[in-house]
Structure 1
Amino acid sequence: MFLLISYDIADDKRLPKVAKLMERYGKRVQYSVFECLLSTSQLEELQGKLRRLIEVTRDSVRFYRLCEDCCQDITIIGDGEVTHDEEFFIA
């Protein structure tokens, strides 16, 4: 499945840990936004790791699942392209 995942981490010590974890699962498209092509088990694994890493009362991670039709309708103004290469990720 194709997901857009964004995060807002309140603590500067947790922030690089979350970013490093996210880089294992997807492609950074903006500072705290990643595009990810994940199986259901990879998504569950990532969510579990994030739950252990973040402070739920101060941090926020949002997962937006995009259907195939939605992915065909993504518009980018400026530099960048939509993530397509599933083999790039090493979750």
Structure 2
Amino acid sequence: MKEEHLYVVTYDIGNQKRWRRVFNVMNGYGEWLQLSVFQCRLSRQRHAELVALLDGMIHHDEDHILFVDVGPADRVVPRVVSLGKDFEPVVREPVIV
């Protein structure tokens, strides 16, 4: 199994239509946390695919996407202060093909 890293991905998209497209793409790669924040478990290949896909969708002079690499997904224990809803790191789930 390829090693996955845990990422926090956050974005600020200047146009509602582009924001919706980015949101829909992110929904396929990670778990939605807040309005423009996702957590994702990604292999190097999936990370590269996501970066390339989003890079082609945004307007570089108006939009901003950040990928924060938290570390190896199976070994990192994120230290998070969560007010309100509970926070749980995304876990590997079986994929049905």
TM-score by length of 2: 0.82
Query: Does the alignment pair 1:27 with 2:37?
Result: no
RMSD between aligned alpha carbons?
1.8
Q: CA offset at residue 88 of structure 1? A: 6.7
Residues 88 and 13 from structure 1, CA distance in 2 versus in 1: closer, same or farther, beyond 3 angstroms?
A: farther
Confirm or deny: 8 A CA contact 2:18 2:57 kept in the other structure.
yes
- Give structure 1 stretches of 5+ with no counterpart: none
Aligned to 2:58: 54
Residues 8 and 89 from structure 1, CA distance in 2 versus in 1: closer, same or farther, beyond 3 angstroms?
A: farther
User: Which one has the largest radius of gyration?
Assistant: 2
Distance 2:32 2:38 in 1: 4
Query: Does the alignment pair 1:17 with 2:33?
Result: no
Aligned to 2:68: 64
* Larger helix fraction of residues: 1
Confirm or deny: 8 A CA contact 1:24 1:89 kept in the other structure.
no
Aligned to 1:3: 7
Residues 60 and 32 from structure 1, CA distance in 2 versus in 1: closer, same or farther, beyond 3 angstroms?
A: same
**Identical-pair percentage:** 28
Residues 28 and 14 from structure 1, CA distance in 2 versus in 1: closer, same or farther, beyond 3 angstroms?
A: same
Distance 1:77 1:27 in 2: 18
Confirm or deny: 8 A CA contact 2:22 2:57 kept in the other structure.
yes
Give, as a single letter, the amino acid of the residue that structure 1 aligns with 2:83: I
Give, as a single letter, the amino acid of the residue that structure 2 aligns with 1:14: R
Distance 1:88 1:32 in 2: 25
User: Which residue of 60, 68, 84 maps to 1:78?
Assistant: 84
Give, as a single letter, the amino acid of the residue that structure 1 aligns with 2:7: L
Distance 1:89 1:45 in 2: 18
